[in-house]
Structure 1
Amino acid sequence: MRKLYLLTLLLAISLVEVKAQKVEIPIDTSVTTQHSVNINGKSIDYTAETGMMPLWNDDGEPTASLFYTYYTRNGVKNNENRPLVISFNGGPGSASVWMHIAYTGPRVLKIDDEGFPVQPYGIKENPNSILDVADIVYVNPVNTGYSRPIPDAEGKVDRKKFFGVQADITYLAEWLNTFVTRKNRWLSPKYLIGESYGTTRVSGLALELQNSQWMYLNGVILVSPTEIGLDREGPVEIANRLPYFAAAAWYHKVLPSELQNKDLDELLPEVENYAINELLPVLVKGGFTDESKKEEVAEKMAYYSGIKKEVIMQNNLEVPFRYFWKDLLREKEGYTVGRLDSRYRGLDSKESGDSPDYNAELTSWLHSFTPAINYYLREELKFKTDLKYFMFGPVHPWDRSGNNTGENLRQAMAQNANLDVMIQSGYFDGATTYFNAKYSMWQLDPSGKMKDRLSFKGYRSGHMMYLRSEDLKKANDDVREFIKNSLPGADAAKY
Structure 2
Amino acid sequence: MKKLVLVLVIVCHLSMAAQTKEEKSNPKPIPVPKSFVTNHKGVFGGKTISYKATAKETFLKSEKGDSVATIWSVAYTQDGITHSAQRPVTFVFNGGPGSASVWLHMGLFGPKIVKIDSDAKKDDGAAPYDLQTNEHGLLDLTDLVFIDPVGTGYSRVVGKGKEKDFWGLKEDAASVAQFIRLWITENQRWFSPKYIAGESYGTTRAAAVGKALEGGGQNMALNGLILISQALDYDGSTSIHNNITSYVTYLPSMAATAWYHKKAGQGKDLEDFLEECRKFTYNVYTPALYKGNLLTHEEKNSIAEKMSYFIGLDKDYILRSDLRILMHRFQKQLLADKGLSIGRLDGRFMGDEADKLSEGPHLGDASSYQISSAYTAALNHYFASALKVDMDRPYLTSNDKIGSKWRWRTVPDGSYWEPAPVNVSRALGETMRRNTEMRVLVASGYFDLITPFFDAEYTFSRNGIVKERVTMTYYEAGHMMYVHEPDLIKLSKDIRDFLTVK
TM-score by length of 1: 0.88
Distance of aligned partners of 1:462 and 1:25 in 2 relative to their CA distance in 1, 3 Å threshold: farther
Query: CA offset at residue 254 of structure 1?
Result: 1.3
Task: Tell me the equivalent position of 2:274.
Answer: 268
Q: 1:243 aligns with which of 252, 257, 260?
A: 252
Aligned residues of 2:38 and 2:52 also touching (Cα < 8 A): yes
- Matched residues, percent identical? 35
Task: Tell me the equivalent position of 1:165.
Answer: 169
The letter of the residue matching 1:398 is: W
Query: CA offset at residue 227 of structure 1?
Result: 3.5
Task: Tell me the equivalent position of 2:261.
Answer: 252
The letter of the residue matching 1:445 is: G
RMSD: 1.8
The runs of 5 or more residues in structure 1 that have no matched partner are: 1-22, 488-495
Question: How does 1:49-448 map onto structure 2 within 5 Å?
Answer: 49-114=54-119, 117=124, 119-152=127-160, 157-212=161-216, 213-228=218-233, 234-255=243-264, 259-331=265-337, 333-357=338-362, 358-393=364-399, 394-395=401-402, 396-402=404-410, 403-445=422-464
Tell me the matched-pair count.
453
Aligned residues of 1:27 and 1:54 also touching (Cα < 8 A): no
Aligned counterparts of 1:445 and 1:231: Cα–Cα separation in 2: 17
The letter of the residue matching 2:285 is: L
Task: Tell me the equivalent position of 1:20.
Answer: none
Aligned counterparts of 2:235 and 2:251: Cα–Cα separation in 1: 19
State the SS of the aligned residue for 1:343. Answer: coil
Task: Tell me the equivalent position of 1:16.
Answer: none
Query: CA offset at residue 230 of structure 1?
Result: 6.4
Distance of aligned partners of 1:244 and 1:100 in 2 relative to their CA distance in 1, 3 Å threshold: same
Query: CA offset at residue 151 of structure 1?
Result: 3.7
The letter of the residue matching 1:422 is: L
Task: Tell me the equivalent position of 2:499.
Answer: 483
Distance of aligned partners of 1:298 and 1:25 in 2 relative to their CA distance in 1, 3 Å threshold: farther
Q: Higher mean Cα deviation, 356-365 or 85-94?
A: 356-365
Query: CA offset at residue 441 of structure 1?
Result: 1.2
Q: Higher mean Cα deviation, 334-343 or 69-78?
A: 69-78
Task: Tell me the equivalent position of 1:491.
Answer: none
Distance of aligned partners of 1:474 and 1:140 in 2 relative to their CA distance in 1, 3 Å threshold: same
Aligned residues of 2:213 and 2:220 also touching (Cα < 8 A): yes
Task: Tell me the equivalent position of 1:5.
Answer: none
Query: CA offset at residue 24 of structure 1?
Result: 8.4
Aligned counterparts of 2:179 and 2:115: Cα–Cα separation in 1: 33
Aligned counterparts of 1:25 and 1:391: Cα–Cα separation in 2: 23
Aligned counterparts of 1:29 and 1:349: Cα–Cα separation in 2: 46
State the SS of the aligned residue for 2:175. Answer: helix
State the SS of the aligned residue for 2:371. Answer: helix
Q: Deviations over 1:127-181 (max 9, x none)?
A: 11111100010000001000010042xxxx5222111101111121112111110
Query: CA offset at residue 445 of structure 1?
Result: 2.2
The letter of the residue matching 1:417 is: T
Query: CA offset at residue 122 of structure 1?
Result: 4.0
Distance of aligned partners of 1:430 and 1:68 in 2 relative to their CA distance in 1, 3 Å threshold: same
Query: CA offset at residue 237 of structure 1?
Result: 2.0
Q: Deviations over 1:425-471 (max 9, x none)?
A: 1110101111111111111326xxx2110121010000000111111
The letter of the residue matching 2:158 is: I
Aligned counterparts of 2:236 and 2:136: Cα–Cα separation in 1: 36
TM-score by length of 2: 0.87
The runs of 5 or more residues in structure 2 that have no matched partner are: 1-27, 411-421
Aligned counterparts of 2:140 and 2:174: Cα–Cα separation in 1: 31
Q: Higher mean Cα deviation, 57-66 or 107-116?
A: 107-116
The letter of the residue matching 2:407 is: D
Aligned counterparts of 1:408 and 1:240: Cα–Cα separation in 2: 21
Aligned residues of 1:85 and 1:137 also touching (Cα < 8 A): yes
State the SS of the aligned residue for 1:260. Answer: coil
State the SS of the aligned residue for 2:214. Answer: helix
Aligned counterparts of 1:25 and 1:32: Cα–Cα separation in 2: 22
Distance of aligned partners of 1:24 and 1:380 in 2 relative to their CA distance in 1, 3 Å threshold: farther
Aligned counterparts of 1:92 and 1:252: Cα–Cα separation in 2: 31
State the SS of the aligned residue for 1:131. Answer: coil
Aligned counterparts of 1:313 and 1:360: Cα–Cα separation in 2: 28
Aligned counterparts of 1:110 and 1:421: Cα–Cα separation in 2: 28
Aligned counterparts of 2:114 and 2:294: Cα–Cα separation in 1: 53
